[in-house]
Amino acid sequence: MTLARRLLLALWAGALVTVGGLVAPTLFSILPDRHMAGFIAGELFRRLTLGSFVVALALVLLGGGAGAVGRPAQRLLPLVPAVSLAVSEYGVRPLLEAARVGAGAGSAAFVAWHGVSSLLYLVATVVAVWLLVRELKRAA
């Protein structure tokens, strides 16, 4: 099961880094329509959030990994990125969209909510990468 955990963590962390660090910025730099770039990026983030629930649940069911025996809280650590993404998607995104529709994408409210969303995504990414590194170190 350790190999399955490592593979899941590597795919998950890789997807988070790739979408947030490469794909979304690329969309905004190459597409002439920022609204379309935002729509596509938002859809990618939505799908990644749903996939994160699946991966986090699988990781919890597979156990806490190396060194987690006797530490039940360690088994739940994969939920941290999934919950962070869920808060962003289902809590912040509606507020972000309302700010965009109401005051525009350049408004202070939009920028503030976009910052909150970006921070939550960063937390999810850092924790997923940390989980992978921790798993690889303990398995070595």
Over residues 17-45, the pLDDT tens digits come to 999 999 999 999 999 999 999 999 999 99
Mean pLDDT of 50-71: 80
pTM given for the model:
0.91
3-state secondary structure 2-59: HHHHHHHHHHHHHHHHHHHHHHHHHHHHHCCCHHHHHHHHHHHHHHHHHHHHHHHHHH
90-108 pLDDT tens trace = 999 999 999 999 998 889 9
* Calpha distance 140→136 (Å, rounded): 6
* Total domains, the chain: 1
Q: What domain range is 49 assigned to?
A: 2-139
Task: Give the per-residue pLDDT at 8.
Answer: 96
Q: What 8-state DSSP symbol labels residue 89?
A: I
pLDDT score of 69 more than 60: no
**pLDDT tens, residue by residue, 106-140:** 899 999 999 999 999 999 999 999 999 999 998 77
